[in-house]
Amino acid sequence: MDDEMKRNLNNLYWALLFPLSMVILAIIPGINRYFFSWHVGIGWAILWLSFPWYISWIISYLLSAEKWKKTRCLRFAVVAIVAYITFSYPVSLLVEILLQKSLGFPIDSRAFWNHLTFPFSLLIK
């Protein structure tokens, strides 16, 4: 594996760290009661930071790229953003089902995805 591929994967790992940790906290029964219950769930309050976190890591990746690699890095960044939005939808549906079973109360359709992709989710309502 060449150095550029390692750099791409390292940046993608750090960009996905916060969103994936929020999804994992929502999936684990027992823990999700503390993070995603309606009355004291801090998870709902900080979940909307996932997409801005992701975008900030992608932007820092683009800004730190060498000048002659900017086009390749920009292509990687666009694919990474589209992949995040695309793959977060089915994962969010799964998380909503698991949260409903675990917590026992209904969750609005696409609520988790709307928080996970905020502010992008506002554009497609």
Give the SS3 label for residue 124: coil
pLDDT of 71-80, one tens digit each? 888 998 899 9
Q: Quick one: which H or E segment has residue 56?
A: helix 50-64
Could you tell me which of 79, 102, 68, 67 has the C-alpha nearest to residue 11? 79
CB-facing half-sphere around the CA of 56: CA atoms within 13 A: 9
The DSSP call for residue 28 is S
pTM of the complete model: 0.85
Separation in Å, CA 9 to CA 4, 19, 77: 9, 16, 12
**Residue with more model confidence, 17 or 9:** 17
End-to-end CA distance of the chain: 41
CA 124/CA 116 separation, integer angstroms: 14
Which range marks the domain in which residue 117 is found? 3-123
**pLDDT tens digits along 28-81:** 988 888 888 876 688 988 999 999 999 999 999 888 888 888 888 899 889 999
Give the chain's domain count.
1
